[in-house]
Structure 1
Amino acid sequence: MLPTDEDRPLVQSDAEPVDIEVLLGYEVEEDPDDDTALPFDIREDALKEAAISFGARGGLAKRTWEIRKNLETRARYLDKVYDFEQLLVAAPSGFKIEPPIVTEAMNAMIVDFSGQEAAVSDRIYNIIKNARIVSAPRNWRQYLEREWGEVIPPPAILLPRDDDERVIWEEHVRKGWKVGYEQADEIFNDDLSRLTLDFEGMVRYKLLLAQGMVSPPYALQVDRGVTGGGEEMKVGDRAVQITGVPEFVTGADQWKPANQ
């Protein structure tokens, strides 16, 4: 018999999650003195829900762990592909400015509500997040590495007690496992899309900047000397502030080829 203490996780968040066979094997012995048993129809529904939830959490944890391990084998490659540091702009006092994230839509068409007017553009650029001061570059790990969490079993009252309930339990644990496993892949794909969007958006800004189609960020350092008082004093205190965020340059006569 496996442990059924609902307050004790099946696996700690930093350990490898168990396989589905462990979840399928959960059961409790029928206690003849147990007067907490639920009516059959209510118990069956509760058992199904508990099994699906348990399986989903187990599948999510297992697949998340597998993805994390897979990423570890590709860490060097990802470090090279998603090198955010090369995109940063130097700022005073050792700070860095993270460039804007720019999106691009090709052959965009807009039709007004009345349907009487329409417009089409070869390309539409949008700054969805502007420049900001940072002390360190982003890293792909911030996007793709997720914790898999603890998988806590259901209360003992919601575990199978006989062969009939065992069949119900295993069927719905498998269903839940499949859902959780697939959900982990969906989460990873969403995270990867967000990483790609942000990185390519910064690269796109650098290309547009080289063509004079967008302005650079401007930063100002103010030397404040000695500041503070009381229990704290700052010597050589300096403040850095972005005084001009990048904006698109609509004067096409100011643009130039990217290789110039």
Structure 2
Amino acid sequence: MNRRTVVSTMVALCLASGMTNAQESSDKNEASDKYELNQKEEVIVDTSLSSFRVNELKELYSETAKKKAIKFDRKYVKDVNYDFRSTVDFNHPSLGMLTTEITESDLEAIQEIQREQQARDMRNQTIMQTAFHFSYAASYYKRTREKHEELVNQDKVYSQIFPFHMLLEDEGRVKPPVILETPFSREIEDKRTIRERKRRYRIAEQAEVVLRPPTYLDYFNNLLTKKPDLPSIYMIPLNDDELVYWRKGVMHGWVEGNEKANIVIQQDTRRLFRDFIGMLRYRAQANAKILTRPTTHHTNVGTNARGDVINIGESVFEITRLPTFNDDDINWIALPEVDDIFDDLTQETIDDLTQEVVESGALL
């Protein structure tokens, strides 16, 4: 091996050794640059990662809930009519639905409140009052709706009993007045005078224009009441002890609501009879010239323009003079005289008889 070859080999070995040392030095430097986390720092990093994952899940749930929201159709539950048994036992479908709306946090809050006796008593009283008002409205709704449905089903019969269309005047455009009659009365005016009245009539409702004849059902429109709103989810019984207070409230409220409905039905029935008989009385007295008939006027306007509106073929019908009593009894037309069974009865006796007939159901 010549001198040149030996020198070249030694140079190559030196270079290789230098590169190896440089690589080892670089690896050592890189290793020295790495930072080791302590235990506290590792906890902070883990917490941050966990919080990040929680926020990501919240955002995912929120977006999914908005895009794929489920709406439960509870109309079929609300359409179920209330009855006493399902209301007092709190097992009506619409009431049972309320329990599903109470969250776990709501239950925990209610349980926390009930730890104090005073708060527990207040909650029980609130439940009883809520039950009373709800059952009152439910009972009233049930009774009035059933009565109205019964009246509608008997339309053919009642329309013949109360043919209001036959009592209208001026081609069905004027509803006659309602004349009320007060029977025999006697009163002391002063120490020297007693005044007796065999009959007294007064106009309770004056004549008015109408577009259609009234019907018997018009007197019972107030029976079409709104279905009662459900109670608050925070005022319903959640255990057997609270159910006892709920039942107390329902039992009292249901009875009072039903009684109130019966009173309203009786009042409507009396008003129906009063108006129909009063209109018949008007016709008889108008024919006898005891009462004047309403004076009406019909005007054909033709075309009537009001800026941006034009009416074609317009006409106006109005009552120009209302009926009044005529005290000129010379011109009265005598009506057949009949026996009057009420002459010997006081007003109190007549009212008692009327009340007895109404309560018997004959007018219902």
Q: In structure 1, which of residues 146, 150, 163 is the aligned counterpart of residue 240 of structure 2?
A: 163
Counterpart check, 1:198 vs 2:275: yes
**Residue 203 of structure 1: how far off its partner (Å):** 0.8
Q: Secondary structure at the match of 1:89?
A: coil
Where does structure 1 lack aligned partners over 5 or more consecutive residues?
1-7
* Percent identity of equivalent pairs: 23
Q: Secondary structure at the match of 2:256?
A: helix
Question: Cα deviations across residues 135-172 of structure 1 (Å, max 9, x unaligned)?
Answer: 21111111124213122222122112222221221122
Equivalent position amino acid for 1:196 in 2: F
Question: Cα deviations across residues 191-224 of structure 1 (Å, max 9, x unaligned)?
Answer: 1111111111111100111111111111112233
Question: Cα deviations across residues 8-40 of structure 1 (Å, max 9, x unaligned)?
Answer: 89975xx46221222223375893454455702
Aligned to 1:41: 121
Q: Given the two structures, how large is their TM-score scaled by the length of structure 2?
A: 0.62
Q: In structure 1, which of residues 105, 117, 124 is the aligned counterpart of residue 200 of structure 2?
A: 124
Q: In structure 1, which of residues 231, 235, 243 is the aligned counterpart of residue 320 of structure 2?
A: 243
Equivalent position amino acid for 1:80 in 2: Q
Structure 1 segment 56-205 matched on structure 2, within 5 A: 56-90=136-170, 96-112=173-189, 117-145=193-221, 146-205=223-282
Equivalent position amino acid for 1:65 in 2: R
Contact 2:179 2:205 in 1 (8 A): yes
Distance 2:76 2:268 in 1: 27
| Alignment size in residue pairs | 246
Aligned to 1:257: 334
Greater Rg over alpha carbons, structure? 2
Contact 2:128 2:247 in 1 (8 A): no
Q: 1:80/1:31 Cα in 2 relative to 1: closer, same or farther (>3 Å)?
A: same
Greater fraction of residues in strand: 1
Equivalent position amino acid for 2:135 in 1: G
- Structure with more contact order per residue of length (Cα contacts < 8 Å, sep ≥ 6): 1
**Residue 174 of structure 1: how far off its partner (Å):** 1.4
Q: 1:236/1:165 Cα in 2 relative to 1: closer, same or farther (>3 Å)?
A: closer
Q: Given the two structures, how large is their TM-score scaled by the length of structure 1?
A: 0.84
Greater fraction of residues in helix: 2
Equivalent position amino acid for 1:17 in 2: N
Contact 2:182 2:201 in 1 (8 A): yes
RMSD, matched Cα: 2.6
Contact 1:9 1:152 in 2 (8 A): no
Equivalent position amino acid for 2:141 in 1: A
Equivalent position amino acid for 2:140 in 1: L
Distance 1:10 1:168 in 2: 28
